[in-house]
Amino acid sequence: MASKKLTIGFDTSNYTTSAAVFDIESGEMLANLKMPLPVAKGERGLRQSEALFAHVKNLPEICERLRGSFKYEQICAIGYSAYPRDEAGSYMPCFLAGKSAAYSLASAGAPIYAFSHQAGHVMAALWHSGRRELLDSPFLAFHVSGGTTELLYVKPEDSGFDIELIGATADINAGQLVDRVGVMLGLSFPCGPALEELSKGFDHTKRKCTLTQKTVVKGITCNLSGAENKASKALADGVDKSEIAFFVLDFIARNLDAMTLAAKEKYGEMPVLYAGGVMSNGYIKSYLASRHDAAFAPPVYSADNACGTAILAAQKYTKDKNICI
């Protein structure tokens, strides 16, 4: 075990404390640890101060559990999510918790690398999608979560990505829509898995959904808030909750499809990687997979995690040391 070369990743997003251990030589993830941040029943999110405090409370337990996956002399490098996106001025206080953990662990001398939360999402999903050939040429990537609904043009580099934002939502994010409607329907935040389960009570293969909402995509920008109003009215009118849940997921799927088509019209035909917590949804994945050359990761690597950050740290380390992996 002592001969292994490992990297550690930390990610402290607005809703999950994550840490991961990656084996550089085998390309395997040895640990993928997560602890959700607590959200009070009926609430639809956390303030940054609350999230930062929750991470500070979670990290000692995460780090204690992490210790079983490595020996200190095996650590070659440590990566952490330092900011939401690869753009000037991108900042969220909650990522300071992961930075503190990374610097504490690296006190013995391992190099530290900072990455964006978004780049970590893209790498984790790509690495575990079974489509590593995407590292050889540009591709489209969606980052769809509670805090982000963005379409990216991604150029792989020796250590990381050159990421260009080409599309987004003009109002609320897809994950926000899921959570707002989920809470409206009496589900606990975050609502993704529960809303998906509820939607299965409506068999769309046998019954047409009575709720309709046109997609509004201008350029490569979508608008999602109209579906929340439609769902609220439907609930007041007594429409079955399972049908409302299906309507929301179908609406998100159709918008992502429309954005994908708009991007391909502008940039040409190419593979599309769908990442982020919302892309754990089975219905949305099957809808998009039937229409595009689509790549998905298993849910554990699609939702918030530190695995991508650990892999990015391995890439940066091997480049700096001129090592092939």
Residue-range domain boundaries for the chain: 6-128+302-321, 168-296
Note the pLDDT of residue 65: 96
pLDDT of residue 29: 97
- Per-residue pLDDT tens for 152-182? 999 999 889 999 999 999 999 999 999 999 9
- The Cβ of residue 161 has, within 10 Å, a number of other Cβ atoms equal to 24
CB 255 within 8 A of CB 224: yes
**What b/e sequence results for 274-289 when a residue is b if at least 16 CB atoms lie within 10 Å of its CB, and e otherwise?**
bbbbbbbbebbbebbe
Residue 102 reports pLDDT greater than 50: yes
Higher model confidence: residue 196 or residue 39? Answer: 196
The arithmetic mean of pLDDT across residues 3-19, rounded, is 94
1, pLDDT greater than 50: no
177-189: average pLDDT: 95
Asked whether residue 200 carries a pLDDT value surpassing 80, the answer given is yes
The pLDDT value recorded for residue 158 is: 87
Q: What is the pLDDT of residue 116?
A: 97
What's the pLDDT score for residue 212? 93
CATH superfamily to which 6-128+302-321 belongs: ATPase, nucleotide binding domain (3.30.420.40)
- The torsion of the CA quartet 182, 48, 88, 216, rounded to 10 degrees, works out to 20
What is the rounded average pLDDT for all residues in the chain? Answer: 95
Calculate mean pLDDT across residues 84-93: 93
Q: Over range 235-244, report the average pLDDT.
A: 98
| 168-296 CATH fold | Nucleotidyltransferase; domain 5 (3.30.420)
